[in-house]
Every structure is written in structure tokens, then in C-alpha cells.
Amino acid sequence: MKADSPRAGSSSRDLLPLFPEHSSVSPDGELAIGGVGVRDLAERFGTPAYIVDEAGLWHQASRFKDGLAARHPDSEVVFASKSLPCLAVYKLFAAAGLSIDVAGAGELVMALAAGVPPERMYLHGNAKTTAELTMAHQAGVATVVVDNFDDIDRLEQLATRPQRVLIRIIPGVAPETHESQSTGGADSKFGLPLDQAREAITRIRKSEKLQLDGLHLHIGSQILDTEPFARAVEAVAVLGTFDVYDVGGGLGVRYTLADQAPTVEEYLDTIAAAARSYLPAGAKLLIEPGRSLVARSCVTLYRVSTVKRTGRTFVAVDGGMADNLDAALTGQGFEAAVATRMTARPDEIVQLVGRQCESGDLLVDRLPLPAPRVGDLIAMPVTGAYTYTLANNYNGALRPPVIFCRDGKAKIMAERETHDHVLSLHRPALESPA
């Protein structure tokens, strides 16, 4: 099938703006991340692998932190760590001056192991268990985001010292995004509507064990318009005056050439302007970026296993929905390129598919590629958010490693899962007599 799409008329080099900040292409067309070529990365670490631009992560953290501080000096940037719960990432963002949002015991354990000070942590979750709340309180986690009245009951029972809390509010703002990523509408499972929030405010203010710092809201993820963020801030202002307002995250990113995403600066301008318009002048302002902090920093590197020309041309790689569930789960669009022929002109439209046994294991629909062949290295950009998070063992797949690249050097930060790792979970069955 010859090129029959507008996407096929230009060279793959046009994709470079989607790749990590510190990406380059050699004269012979080889992609490099952080100064390390993809051939070397594939030979040393295998495929599939998550390749991370370490300096790009740091610079993005600085853009958020310094940008917000310039617009609202009493502010704090909190990394929504569910987007990339990798110990090395916790360490990097903590060193960059960010606080950390943890949603559950697993993320809390990771953050503590990374040396994140508990006083710079925020515990989230719509269904926190007593065990998780106890762990967080004992560890000294500074703030618990209360999502429901059961959170209040449990905290009052277990607290041995005053515990600072924020109340998560449903602002009634449902932005345009995938249904599974919308969390601010009236039917959200997260937070309390305004009438119940008033009840929770009254109750916590009377508590001898809980200290109410303020309000929290979050309207969703992969939001490509800044206006809903301002409306959400306006919506919670009616609840009164507080010391802290955490307005969440949700800024979307550019996954494909067709996407138009707000810049960090445009997002921060909107948030700061809304705070000036609707919130008390002396209030502390928090934001919780996740996807927009990490997505562009990472490339997933694959190797082509099969090229099959039947009803369509299928280019199958050695990964798939086991290492990038977002494509199947939400229908998120991606781009990809032959990583050693970045300057070659596409001449064929293909279905880039994975190796998992599902027809829905489609990584990129109708992707222009130059003469794809078995053994090609395929680089998929903008895979820093929710890929490692949602990685799974479908068909016995092994979770890929995380590789940091910077200044021409590559270092492994999370190992590739092995079959021995997986089998170790089944040791009782292995040791049980037949």
C-alpha cells in the first residue's frame, strides 16, 4: 500500500519536536536521546525499553516550579507520581524542589525509599484503607487529601498527633477529555460535592486531631484547553477562605503532530490569573502536574519482529499493550519512527501493532514508515506518562527497563523484569507437592 495519507508526504524528521527535549538525529538518520544513539541503547539494554531524557525531566520540573513561583510566590509544585512511579524519578524531582503526591501504599513506599522527606508528601486516594492511612501517618506524611467521610472517621481514630488535611472538592467542571480521565464532573467518584464539602469543613474544624489547611480539586487528565482550570478554581471559591488551595493537575500534552496543547506558560498564566481573581490574596497555591511533567521525556524503543502484508500492512514489534496500555485503554493516539532512518521519506502506510493476543493491540493506526523491515528499531515518543505505571504481564510479557540518558551516557534505573521475578510470586505452587 503506497502512501495515501497527508502524514506520509513528509519525512520522519518532522516528528522530532515530539521527541524528548535533548534529542538529535545524526547525518545518517540515527536518533539519539541525551546524546546516546538508539543502536547502542538497543544493544546494551535490549527492547522494548523506556528511554528517558534525564536533563529534560529536570528542565520541565524547573519550568513548572520557577514559572509558578514567578506568578504566585507562595506556591508549591507537587509531582503526581502515579504518572511515572519510578524511584529514580522520585529522587530527581525531590532534588529539583518538587513535593510528591502519592496515591496508595506502593507509591508511598517508593517515595520513602527514594529519600523524599515525608513533610513534602501528599497522600491521595478515593478509597484509602486504614492500613494506608496508618502507614502514612506513622511515616509523617504532611498532608492527607480527604476524599470522603470515611477518611475523616479513620484519621480521627488513628491519629496520634494533629494531622493536616485538605478536602477534595467536586467542582462540577467536566473538561473535554477521555471519559476515564475526567474527574471534575458531578458524577465523579473523587471528592465531595459542595453541600457535603461544607459539612466536612465544619466537622474537621471541630476535630481535635485534624487540622484543615484548605481545599483540593482536580478536574481530569490530558486537558488541551486552559479555560476549564479557571472555572474549577472559581467554583470552589464559594466555600470560603482557606490558607491553601491545591488546584490539581491535568494539563494535556502533544502526542501527535495533529495535537495542539497549551504550553506550560499558558497553563500557569491561567491558573495564576484565576487565583488572583477568585482566591484570597494571601493563600498558598499548589498544582499537581503529572503527565505534563514526564510524558515528553520518554521514548519507548522497540524492534520489529514481523512485517506482514495481508489486508493491510502490519508492522509488529516486540512490545505492545503490555508496555503501553494507554493506546488500547483510552484510544490515545501516538506517533512513531524508524529510529535509524529518521530522515527517510515514508513510502508506506502501516498498522504498527504489538505482540499481545488482542486485535486492540494497535499502537499506531495508519502510520507512515519508510520501507519497514524485520529488525528495524522503532522509536515511539511521548511515552513517559502511564506506560511504566500500567505495564503488565499479558501473554507473559516482562516489564521493560527504565534507562536514563544524559550527556552521552546511559544508565539503567529500573531493571527489566525477568521470568524468575515472575515465577518467584508462584513459589508456593512450585514448592507444593503435585
Active site residues: 357
- How far apart, in whole angstroms, are the C-alpha atoms of residue 122 and residue 166? 9
The C-alpha angle 180, 185, 187, rounded to 5 degrees, equals 80
Residue 109: CB partners within 8 Å, gap ≥ 6? none
- How far apart, in whole angstroms, are the C-alpha atoms of residue 90 and residue 87? 5
Evaluate whether 91 touches 52 at the Cβ level (below 8 Å): no
Evaluate whether 102 touches 108 at the Cβ level (below 8 Å): yes
Instruction: Give the other-Cβ count within 10 Å of 189's Cβ.
Output: 10
Evaluate whether 167 touches 124 at the Cβ level (below 8 Å): no
Q: Which helix (H) or strand (E) holds 43?
A: helix 38-45
The phi, psi pair for 34, rounded to 5°, reads 55, 30
Packed helices 149-158 and 130-139: angle between N→C axes, nearest 10 degrees: 50
Alpha carbons within 13 angstroms on the beta-carbon side of residue 346 total: 27
Evaluate whether 168 touches 147 at the Cβ level (below 8 Å): yes
